[in-house]
Amino acid sequence: MKFGKKLRRHVEEALPEWRDKYLCYKDLKKRLKCMPFAEEEKERERASAVSVKRPRIETEGEGEGECDSLSSSVSEEYASNDSHGSNYTDRTGANEFDDFIYKLTGDEFDFIQLLNPELEKFNLFFIEKEEEYIIRQKELQERIEMIKNKYGPNGKFSSKTKYKQDMMNVRKHVVNFHGEMVLLEDYSILNFTGLVKILKKYDKKRGGILRVAFIQRVLQQPFFRMELLFELVKQCEEILEHLFSPQELGDEETEEEESVYLEEGVLYKSATAALRSMRDMRKGSSTYGVFSLPPLSLHDLHFIEQSKGSTLMCPPSDLSNTEMVYF
């Protein structure tokens, strides 16, 4: 399946409030489709140059004014082009592409201006969600401690039944929280992949290596720097693994209760779609390049296939230890 169709299907399965935060891949493809191929443009330029009539060679002294005028016109044209190049460098010199901006053509610069708002959209949404997750993580930990101190074995109002009920209720929120963080990782990977794909199409059509230069910048963007997100996921998995194990809560009822939370909601559907999306984008390939993502392990693939009755949205060994891009 082509990436555009995968993205569209994924957005349809995403949480409603997330759907307008993804890459406008279809719109970018439409803009790119309107651009001519580099060879076609060069051919038109050559044809235009050939169609210009050569000036008639005059005898000595005859028509000197006309030749001087033609020479002056050509010089002015070159001077104008050179001036345009200088202005172009000046107006882009303050851009974030300081290391390579002088190499960009005008068309490349214009295409980048279409991508910049997309980066800003990704960054704002990602940072907002990270800040929200930091607060939620702290609140969940505080709530767990409160339940322990109140109804736990050594609590003020120790009650095994009440302790288990409250802990299972918290477990629901922790599991859903974990699922949302998996969605955010998938959000980052999917948008990164979309940028790589559209830039590859641009380079193929227009010629050049814009993708290499632009992606180097993308790798430094907040939406692709997921160290903090990985740490939050790891902490969440530790809570689920240690505090909500059958040994902690008791008996076989734990396994029966844990499977009902996500299967009924939109979040479960979205998280499962996210895991499958990450699997598809990390499939092994006979060609391996700078922009490749590492494949999921066999354990991860098995986990996804068995995820319908599972609590964790991603195994503990996955998100927190994943290297996103190899060079």
- Please write the tens of the pLDDT for every residue from 171-192: 889 988 998 999 999 999 999 9
pLDDT in tens, 284-300: 444 445 555 544 443 34
Residues 318 and 181: beta-carbon distance below 8 Å? no
pTM (2 d.p.) = 0.67
Q: Which residues, other chains included, contact 239 with Cβ-Cβ below 8 Å and sequence gap of 6+?
A: 140, 141, 144, 174
pLDDT in tens, 60-92: 444 444 334 333 333 343 334 343 333 333 333
Kindly state the tokens that stand for 272. Answer: 């499962």
Q: Between residues 267 and 30, which one has the greater pLDDT?
A: 30
Residues 169 and 107: beta-carbon distance below 8 Å? no
pLDDT at residue 166 greater than cutoff 70: yes
209: confidence class by pLDDT, cuts 50, 70, 90: confident
Q: What is the mean pLDDT of residues 38-67?
A: 53
Can you tell me the distance from the alpha carbon of 325 to that of 292, in angstroms, rounded to the nearest whole number? Answer: 6
Q: Quick count: other Cβ atoms within 10 Å of Cβ 172? A: 15
Can you tell me the distance from the alpha carbon of 148 to that of 141, in angstroms, rounded to the nearest whole number? Answer: 11
Parse the chain into domains and list their residue ranges: 3-39+107-279+290-316
300, 305, 279, 274: which is closest to 184 by C-alpha? 274
Residue-level pLDDT at 49: 56
Can you tell me the distance from the alpha carbon of 162 to that of 153, in angstroms, rounded to the nearest whole number? Answer: 11
CA angle 194, 10, 225 (to 5 degrees): 50
